[in-house]
Amino acid sequence: MLNIEVLHALKGVFISSEHVSGEEFKQVATSFLLRHRNIQALKWIPKVNSLARPSIESSQLKSHEDFEFTEKGSDESLVTAKTRSTHFPVVYLEPFSGNENALGFDFASDPALLRVLNNARDLGSSMASAGIKVVQASEQNSIYVFLPVYDGEPSTLLKRQERLLGFVAGIFRVADMFDSAIKRTWVQGIYYTLEDITNDKHQSLYSHLSSDVSATLHQSNSEIVYQRPLTRFSGRQWQIHAMPSEGYIAERRTEFPYLIALFGILGSLVLAIYVFFIMRHSHMVNMQVLERTRDLNLAKKKLEALSMTDSLTRIGNRRFFDNAFEREWQLAIRNKTRLALLMIDIDNFKSYNDTYGHLAGDECLVEVAQAIAEALHRPSDVVARYGGEEFVVILPHTRDCLSPAQRCCENVAALNIAHSNSTTRPYVTVSVGVTSIIPTESDDMVKFAAIADMALYKAKENGRNQVFVDAEAIIPKAL
């Protein structure tokens, strides 16, 4: 933009003076060029009708011998310009030295540049050319910027075309412009490329790199290329690329993310294995707990059964009887059913022990228990050892309690266990006391058991080896 300002200042010289001499132009242009070193050259390009050409050429011949309007021939060498209705020759040029060939060059002879000139004329603003290799500037790209100068201040297109006097023009080296623009923000290792993308044609204006290196970088780091269009400049659209060099990337590359990823994966793996073992261990513990619980339940059941069994006779013990009696008593109350109780005692067992010994007594107890159990036919009947040589039988829901009592006596007698000192028979016999009741809430189960005991006492008293039925238990046939 600073360069454009120079053109505006130069334009001011042409507007403020009727005729600007070559000497005046040189003076002003030299002072600008001294302060703006990246301007390669400044020019004055008047609009010249074909009729006015001879007078312009002859007046210029006074200061520059061999002056004529020139254009590029077919072999790129400069030749005399053809006659055109309008010429745009370079009349003033600064610095002259080194740019001699450019003096007299007719811009109307170059269709591309003429288009830029005409655009500048029609729009009344500065217009830049595409990148060009000017004769003086070796391999570097330069651009022309043309600023129209009018007679007065025409406001319409037609008036601008009519009143055009010519153009002040500047040649700017793109490399110099670019370097001075980025010199404050230059970062070592970042490669810049400047492109002209006006009309979608990509023209490389300037690059920090040779074109082949730039292409390689472009491919290899394409994902980290910065690409941004610049603000439009004198009718041109430029675009900037910035690419990091391999060195720039290498300097900033760190193994840290890889290490994090590696440790992350390893950590996850270790965690997964740890969780797997914990779950397996927990499953095994659960299985063991289940197994132990099952064993414990079994053992508990066994213990319960043992605690309810008489160790000698293998039938229920006193505890078993107490539980069963309580249960059946409550059931009979609820169901209003009859409950019978048989107290059974081996006759003269003391003398049996005395005669045959304690071990024989034990064997006798086992056989008597078995015989009593076999005398009971219902699964709900309960037999237990009440204590010593005394047994007890509970018969739930039973009207006829005499028959089972008699079967008990008969079964024991049928064992035919020799008892020479018995007061009844020469074999082991039992006495049975029987009672029964349809209990109610007001009845007492302890008293009920005592009645059965009393009946047993009566049976003993009446001579043993018999059944004594308590009066309460005798049920008339009609009931």
Ligand X SMILES: Nc1nc2c(ncn2[C@@H]2O[C@H](COP(=O)(O)OP(=O)(O)OP(=O)(O)O)[C@@H](O)[C@H]2O)c(=O)[nH]1
Please list the active-site residues. Answer: 389
Cis amide bond preceding 244, omega within 30: no
Question: CA-to-CA distance for 430 and 342, rounded, in angstroms?
Answer: 12
Cβ closest to ligand X, residue 146 vs residue 352: 352
**Nearest 10 degrees: Cα torsion 296, 301, 303, 307:** 160
CB of 365 to ligand X, least distance (A): 5
CA distance 285 to 319: 38
Min dist CB 392 to ligand X, Å, is 14
3-state secondary structure labels for all residues of 29-61: HHHHHHHCCCEEEEEEEECEECCCHHHHHHHHH
Distance CA 200, CA 230 (A): 14
Whose Cβ is closer to ligand X: residue 264's or residue 388's? 388
Beta-strand relationship, 467-469 and 430-437: parallel
Which of 450, 463, 342 lies closest to 391, judged by CA? 342
Q: Which is nearer to ligand X, 86 or 351 (CB)?
A: 351
Q: Shortest distance, CB of residue 341 to ligand X, whole angstroms?
A: 18
d(CA 120, CA 219): 38
The span from the CA of 453 to the CA of 459, in Å, is 10
Cβ 293 to ligand X, closest distance in Å? 37
* Closest among 426, 421, 446, 435 to 473, alpha carbons compared: 435
Residue among 243 and 365 whose Cβ is closer to ligand X:
365
Q: Which two tokens stand for residue 337?
A: 């059913």
Using CB positions, name the residue nearest to ligand X.
Answer: 361
As a whole number of angstroms, the distance between CA 104 and CA 88 comes to 9
| Cβ atoms within 10 Å, residue 464 | 18
CB of 385: closest distance to ligand X in angstroms?
A: 9
Residues in contact with ligand X by CB under 6 A are 345-351, 353, 358, 361-362, 365, 388-389, 460, 464
Residue 427 DSSP SS3: strand
Judge contact between 470 and 360, C-beta under 8 A.
no
Quick one: 301 or 350, whose CB is closer to ligand X?
350
Question: Of 430, 467, 470, nearest to 450 (Cα)?
Answer: 470
Q: Shortest distance, CB of residue 315 to ligand X, whole angstroms?
A: 13
Which tokens in the block code for residue 160?
């601008």
Closest approach of ligand X to the CB of residue 347, in Å: 4
For residue 30, the one-letter residue type is T
Q: Which is nearer to ligand X, 315 or 445 (CB)?
A: 315
| Residue 468, φ and ψ in degrees, nearest 5 | -115, 125
CB of 351 to ligand X, least distance (A): 6
Q: Quick one: 70 or 429, whose CB is closer to ligand X?
A: 429
Q: How far is the first Cα of the chain from the last one, in angstroms, to the nearest whole number?
A: 133
Backbone angles phi, psi at 378, to 5 degrees: -90, 140
How far apart, in Å, are the Cα atoms of 385 and each of 111, 231, 308, 311, 402? 135, 115, 11, 10, 20
Contacts 24+ apart (CB under 8 A), 248-255: 248/188, 248/189, 248/190, 249/221, 249/224, 251/189
By beta-carbon proximity to ligand X, the closer residue of 388 and 426 is: 388
DSSP helix/strand/coil, 392: strand
Nearest distance from C-beta of residue 364 to ligand X, angstroms: 7
Which lies closer to ligand X via its Cβ, residue 245 or residue 355?
355
Angle between helices 349-356 and 358-375 (to 10 degrees): 130
